[in-house]
Amino acid sequence: MNKSVLIIGGAGYIGPVLTDHLLTAGYKVNCLDLLLYQNNTCVIPYLSNPNYRFIYGDLRDQNVLDRALQGVTNVILLAGLVGDPITKKYPEASHAINDEGILSCIDFLNGKGLDRVIFVSTCSNYGLIKSDELADETYPLSPLSLYAKSKVAAEQHLLTNRGKVDYTPTILRFATAFGLAPRMRFDLTVNEFTRELALGRELLVFDAHTWRPYCHVMDFARLIQQVIEAPHAKIAFEVFNAGGEINNSTKQGIIDTILALLPDAKVRYQEHGSDPRNYRVNFQKVRETLGFEPEYTVDYGVKELLSAIREHIFDRADLMRNFHGNYEIEYPLP
């Protein structure tokens, strides 16, 4: 097996965790990233590793993509504007990157002698479903945001390429990420709730009884390695929900987990927030096909983050707001 990968969008929240995991497992890793969030320092720990190469650039630039693909046989496509708020704030950039850029990248990868291409999608594609239902991979998609609509379009484009491409594609619909990472994001539910309450701030929670699936960034890294190493027949043109039922939770469930550790924390609740998504997810397919189950629970993620906060790891997070969340970009539109 040729253990070489290109991570497109490899300097964000998940990318460095995945990089570290794959380097430790003996892979060679190329990372392509445009560093839209001033997240330049996230790649520094790996630059001296002879098995790592960083390439600065835009996935829409085919010359840059060609350089980044040198020596690799597997591609993980993490890149894009991630999340509902950032795509709503920058619709033109979102269209250029998440729609045109991703689709052209998927097409460009054909004919390059690649083995696997893993496209990271999202469970947000399910949108709004009844609380007594679990969405498996065949559940009707109902994307509510520009972000999710772009992911659905990319999925459909990739799946229609059967017989047309020389690589083996797999789609992973990620649950909402949490957990410690070099580019720590505090605009994601578990991380945000934990930090706000740990700092003694009053937290306003909208629609506390809505469901979401969550998954630790280290579990995502483990799953991606499993997909790279799985037999082709198990993963070719397959879609997998990425996570585990143990981390399906309401916002109230996350708050209760934090309050068990911070009983004096202050929480207010309000209904009818701006984000109506509500979905619980079935992870039977990834469990039975690949033998994947999460090793890290929401409770673990809350505890590790509380420990880091108490040790002053994130004292300057408010001064580096854009580094720690997907809030603002400067993207060079043509």
Give the residue-averaged pLDDT of 34-45.
95
Segment holding 85, helix H or strand E: helix 84-89
For the chain, how are helix, strand and coil distributed in percent, rounded to 5? 40, 20, 40
pLDDT beyond 80 at 240:
yes
CB 161 within 8 A of CB 155: no
- How far apart CA 188 and CA 326 sit, in angstroms, is 10
pLDDT digits (tens, 9 = 90+) for 79-92: 999 999 999 999 99
Give the residue-averaged pLDDT of 64-88.
96
Nearest to 250 by CA among 210, 296, 301, 302: 210
User: Residue 70 corresponds to which tokens in the numbers above?
Assistant: 């040198």
Q: What angle do CA 266, 269, 272 make, to 5 degrees?
A: 155
Give the residue-averaged pLDDT of 149-156.
97
- How far apart CA 117 and CA 55 sit, in angstroms, is 19
Cα 241–chain centre separation: 12
CB 185 within 8 A of CB 134: no
Give the residue-averaged pLDDT of 141-150.
94
**Domains in the chain with CATH codes:** 4-185+214-248+277-295 (3.40.50.720)
User: Residue 123 corresponds to which tokens in the numbers above?
Assistant: 């469970």
**pLDDT bracket for residue 294 (50, 70, 90):** very high
**pLDDT bracket for residue 177 (50, 70, 90):** very high
pTM, entire model: 0.96
